[in-house]
């Protein structure tokens, strides 16, 4: 029997699911409502677009609404906001943002893939012209247009997480004087302090002014509502452009209002099949919880990789297949100029929070054979459980070719491998790629 | 009770073992006999030294005999050849190659780490001046000196394995016209033909003249015994320098004569503790067998990574610890100019030879996000068992950042992970490092 699938949100998770259902169920009707003008874009590419490393915003779009309509027979309706979910009558209330008309749309199966929204502190000037928080492609296009037009000289970034670090590189690339303010005492709090400091030092060496332990209090503007300064609890900073990257929150209001259960994080609670607590309603991507294999609980992690995988799992199960999302281990990667940063599994603070007894090692080695041209430092940190010696976490900070090694550690965690297994694993070696003991294995040996 | 350890061979395996024993047993006497003038050098770095990418041969030496004597109290005796092992009396016959004196040296424990020797066909001209087979640092120093002095214009490489491919890059770097001859129909026979052809095409595009299915028959020389040509069964090639890289064979003659059991490959048969068939005699590195986890048998694989690990295992067990060498899965990596090549696990031909039922997928994707600057092709091939869906092999050919991904596949094999596990594994993603589905996962999904 042919069904009608309605999807709220036309980016990674929503479109992965819609595409999967289309492949498996050619006869089904599939309708996607997307609030913004864009579908299936790479939000993670926005900093590189603003940096002008990626020239065209179109490059970030994997598939346009027109492609979905024409090649996939998926009715991808952009500029359509969903206002309400009515689970009892299996219908949603939709607003066409261009015509302002509202209408009810029925569904047999509904997938919520509304993503996450940047957290914006309720402070004077937060809405000023020249203040950007980057989450949608539209916000990236607007930020870049503003920079292209105004050629700002002084940038202040609030928040030292992934977006803050990536935007620091981007704005440095655009010849700005960049200041980064973070209310905590370290950058990248998903890393341990001993690893995060390596990045902070490198950023400082490369001209980023870092003010840690400082909170944003106000964004003073000029007479026309344009950003002029950033005020913290400690100082005033001149600013022509401001990036707010202090965190994100799942867009789960629609789901909450409709009575769906949320997780502790506020994300829509899903099971391993991506089913929500309400029949015929599924959720996937940044708005939904992700099962964490090491924490053994549902968590909130907003990442494109997870969104794509969850979308595929949701789509498969909507079609009647039985696939479980195996879960995440908290893998992430980024870079600042030539320095690469990656992490997976548990950090020390997470392990402590879980009351796990663990051992840790941190080593410095070289990314390629020490005598090979271009050899540069790599730092690897590992965590292993004291009881069964299993690897439970890894962090890498280093230069060219360093960070993708995190996948070896992620695979070791997924395979429940021990310190010994990792130390003696048959990893690849040739002088242009590694020393004879891969740095990951040097760290593992240190734990033995 | 303090013992006396004697080691035959002062490179990776021998010195790893000696160093481990020294750390654990400060009171033991440790004597190492090494035929060449060098200890602990990176044989894998020789092509990059000949290419002049590495400037000094000293850079390839991790520790000199003087360092071992002074800092480790290890009597590292270079230019000493061992002529005979007498297990009954626990002694070996040693020749000082400088003084030509011979003497008996007793041992409590003996480690054989004699490495492997290049295979040289018994053909006219094989000993000509300008013909090199690269195995020891000394042979690399001689080859480079010859090239620096004679500035050859035309090079012929015989053999298209790792050494042949790496030397093709090296000699191209030295501005030579390079021809490569191989008697088989494909380069790199540890890869499947569909992957090897990608490399062959790239080498041809970059000026390497490839003659496949041709055998070396003769090396004609000039009146002074210097190489002039290379003759194959099909043609004559002008040559100022010739590199022979058709394979290697374990140096196990000493062991064989002393009555030690050899494996089918001719390598010294060892158990997982690196014990040979004779009491108090151990073997490790290129001269010894390596347990292959997927083939479930002892094999012969001469690689620096394995030698280092086996040396460490041998040293640990000689000290009385009980450590098992977990085995190998056949991981290897190299590059030619910008093209990176890696493999792990079983190739199709190996799987067929084992009568395994398997599925395979081969995909082409991009090394980083397709829109990110520098994006270039990566090809990934995977093999999985039909019955339990476990990953049993992987091959990668691609550009910058491609090949080290082989470690993720190696870890998946070691962790006995399935196609599904790999496809949905939490691998790292950011545009400068990968697409949102890592190419390895795209290949895994194709297998689902």
In this prediction, residue A352 carries a pLDDT of 98
Segment (H or E) for B94: strand B91-96
Q: Give the strand pairing for A332-336 and A297-299.
A: unpaired
DSSP-derived secondary structure letter, B269: P
Closest residue to B407, CB basis, from A12, A304, A427: A427
In this prediction, residue A1 carries a pLDDT of 86
- The CATH number of the domain where B352 resides is what? 3.30.390.30
DSSP-derived secondary structure letter, A278: S
- Whole-angstrom CA distances from A15 to A64, B80, B195 are 11, 69, 33
- Nearest CA-CA distance, residue A161 and chain B, Å: 14
Whether residue A129 is found in the same domain as residue A232: yes
Which residues of B participate in catalysis according to the annotation?
44
Whether residue A140 is found in the same domain as residue A85: no
Residues with Cβ within 8 Å of residue A110, at least 6 apart in sequence: A5, A6, A7, A8, A85, A90, A92, A280, A281, A282
Whether residue B130 is found in the same domain as residue B175: yes
Closest residue to B430, CB basis, from A333, A424, A428: A333
Q: CA–CA separation, B48 vs A176, rounded Å? A: 40
Which residues constitute the domain of residue B369? 340-447
DSSP-derived secondary structure letter, A266: S
Closest residue to B431, CB basis, from A42, A407, A414: A42
Closest residue to A44, CB basis, from B335, B401, B431: B431
Tokens describing residue A165: 């670090």
Whether residue B165 is found in the same domain as residue B149: yes
Choose one of A183, A217, A246: the last residue of a domain: A246
Q: What is the pLDDT of residues B5-59, one digit of tens each?
A: 999 999 999 999 999 999 999 999 999 999 999 999 999 999 999 999 999 999 9
Whether residue B401 is found in the same domain as residue B356: yes
Residues with Cβ within 8 Å of residue A48, at least 6 apart in sequence: A54, A166, A170, B372, B431, B432
Whether residue B111 is found in the same domain as residue B124: no
The answer to whether residue B278 is domain-embedded is yes
In this prediction, residue A49 carries a pLDDT of 97
Choose one of B210, B229, B246: the last residue of a domain: B246
Cβ–Cβ gap A372/B48 under 8 Å: yes
Mean pLDDT by 10 residues, chain A (448 residues): 96 98 98 96 96 96 95 97 98 98 98 97 96 94 98 98 98 98 97 98 98 98 96 98 97 98 97 98 98 97 97 98 97 98 98 98 98 97 98 98 98 98 98 97 97
Q: CA–CA separation, B295 vs B252, rounded Å? A: 23
Whether residue A195 is found in the same domain as residue A230: yes
The answer to whether residue B47 is domain-embedded is no
- The CATH number of the domain where B135 resides is what? 3.50.50.60
The answer to whether residue B219 is domain-embedded is yes
- Please state, for a pLDDT cut of 70, what percent of chain B lies above it: 100
CB A70 within 8 A of CB A242: no
Sort A197 into a burial class: Cβ within 10 Å, 0-12 / 13-18 / 19+. Answer: middle
Choose one of A246, A277, A300: the last residue of a domain: A246
Q: CA–CA separation, B434 vs B251, rounded Å? A: 43
B144 pLDDT more than 90: yes
Q: CA–CA separation, B16 vs A111, rounded Å? A: 57
Cβ–Cβ gap B415/A411 under 8 Å: yes
**Mean of the pLDDT values across residues B176-205?**
98
Tokens describing residue B98: 């400088």
**Mean of the pLDDT values across residues B301-315?**
97
B443 pLDDT more than 90: yes
| Chain B CB contacts of A425 below 8 Å | 326, 410-411, 414
* Residues 374-413, chain B, touching A (beta carbon < 8 A): 401, 403-408, 410-412
Cβ–Cβ gap A432/B335 under 8 Å: yes
Q: Is A149 left (phi over 0), alpha (psi -120 to 50) or beta?
A: alpha
Q: CA–CA separation, A295 vs A327, rounded Å? A: 10
Cβ–Cβ gap B427/A305 under 8 Å: yes
Q: What is the pLDDT of residues B71-124, one digit of tens each?
A: 999 999 999 999 999 999 999 999 999 999 999 999 999 999 999 999 999 999
B224 pLDDT more than 90: yes
Q: CA–CA separation, B244 vs B128, rounded Å? A: 12
Q: CA–CA separation, B48 vs B54, rounded Å? A: 6
- Whole-angstrom CA distances from B157 to B212, B310, B443, B445 are 12, 31, 34, 39
Segment (H or E) for A157: strand A154-158
The answer to whether residue B140 is domain-embedded is yes
CA torsion sign, A238 to A240 to A245 to A249?
A: positive
The answer to whether residue A334 is domain-embedded is no
- Global pTM reads 0.97
The answer to whether residue A60 is domain-embedded is no
Of B385, B368, B397, the residue nearest B422 (C-alpha):
B385
- Whole-angstrom CA distances from A67 to A8, A19, A77, A367, B116 are 18, 12, 12, 42, 59
Q: What is the pLDDT of residues A124-140, one digit of tens each?
A: 999 999 999 998 999 99
CA torsion sign, A334 to A339 to A342 to A347?
A: negative
Question: Using alpha carbons only, how large is chain B's radius of gyration in Å?
Answer: 23
Whether residue A172 is found in the same domain as residue A197: yes
Question: Counting one residue from A and one from B, how many pairs have CB atoms under 8 Å apart?
Answer: 200
Whether residue A174 is found in the same domain as residue A265: no
Measured in residues, chain B has a length of 448
Q: CA–CA separation, A292 vs A296, rounded Å? A: 5
Whether residue B290 is found in the same domain as residue B378: no
Measured in residues, chain A has a length of 448
The answer to whether residue A372 is domain-embedded is yes
Whether residue A265 is found in the same domain as residue A303: yes
The answer to whether residue A59 is domain-embedded is no
**Mean of the pLDDT values across residues B361-370?**
98
Nearest residue of chain B to residue A325 (CA atoms) = B424
Tokens describing residue B292: 């292959």
Dmax (CA) of chain B:
69
DSSP per residue, A252-265 = -HHHHHTT--B-TT
Tokens describing residue A28: 């089904």
Cβ–Cβ gap A404/B342 under 8 Å: no
CB A153 within 8 A of CB A177: yes
DSSP per residue, B385-427 = ETTT-BEEEEEEEESTT-GGGHHHHHHHHHTT-BHHHHHT---
Domain count, chain A: 3
B135 pLDDT more than 90: no
Whether residue B183 is found in the same domain as residue B143: yes
Cβ–Cβ gap B411/A416 under 8 Å: no
């Amino acid at each position: 029997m042919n069904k009608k699938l309605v999807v709220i949100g036309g980016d990674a998770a929503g479109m992965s699911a819609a595409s999967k259902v289309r492949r498996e169920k050619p006869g089904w009707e599939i309708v996607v409502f997307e609030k913004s003008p864009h579908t299936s874009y790479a939000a993670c590419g926005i900093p590189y677009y603003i940096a002008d490393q990626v020239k065209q915003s179109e490059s970030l779009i994997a598939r346009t609404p027109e492609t979905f309509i024409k090649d996939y027979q998926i009715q991808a309706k952009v500029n359509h906001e969903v206002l309400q979910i009515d689970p009892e009558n299996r219908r949603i209330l939709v607003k066409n943002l261009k015509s302002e008309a509202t209408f009810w749309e029925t569904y047999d199966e509904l997938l919520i893939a509304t993503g996450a929204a940047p957290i914006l502190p309720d402070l004077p000037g937060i809405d000023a012209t020249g203040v950007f928080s980057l989450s949608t492609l539209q916000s990236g296009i607007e930020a870049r247009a503003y920079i292209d037009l105004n050629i700002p000289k002084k940038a202040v970034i609030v928040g030292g997480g992934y977006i803050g670090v990536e935007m620091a590189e981007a704005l440095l690339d655009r010849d700005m004087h960049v200041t980064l303010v973070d209310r905590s005492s370290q950058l990248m709090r998903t890393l341990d302090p001993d690893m995060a400091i390596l990045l902070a030092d490198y950023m400082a060496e490369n001209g980023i002014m870092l003010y840690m332990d400082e909170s944003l209090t106000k964004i003073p503007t000029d007479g026309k509502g344009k950003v002029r300064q950033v005020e913290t609890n400690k100082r005033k900073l001149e600013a022509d452009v401001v990036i707010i990257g202090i965190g994100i929150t799942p867009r789960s209001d629609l789901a909450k209002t409709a009575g769906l259960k949320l997780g502790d994080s506020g994300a829509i609670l899903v099971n391993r099949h991506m089913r929500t607590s309400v029949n015929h309603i599924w959720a996937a991507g940044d708005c939904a919880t992700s099962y964490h294999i090491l924490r053994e609980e549902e968590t909130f992690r907003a990442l494109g990789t997870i969104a794509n995988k969850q979308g595929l799992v949701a789509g498969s199960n909507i079609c009647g297949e039985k696939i479980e999302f195996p879960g995440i281990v908290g893998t992430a990667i980024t870079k600042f100029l030539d320095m690469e940063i990656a992490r997976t599994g548990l950090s020390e603070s997470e392990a402590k929070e879980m009351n796990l007894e663990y051992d840790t090692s941190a080593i410095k080695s070289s990314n390629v054979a020490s005598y090979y041209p271009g050899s540069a430092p790599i730092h690897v940190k590992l965590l292993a459980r004291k009881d069964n010696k299993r690897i439970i976490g890894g962090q890498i900070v280093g230069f060219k070719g360093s960070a993708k090694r995190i996948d070896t550690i992620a695979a070791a965690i997924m395979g429940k491998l021990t310190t010994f297994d990792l130390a003696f694993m048959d990893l690849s070696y040739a002088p242009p790629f590694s020393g004879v003991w891969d740095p990951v294995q040097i760290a593992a040996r240190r734990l033995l």
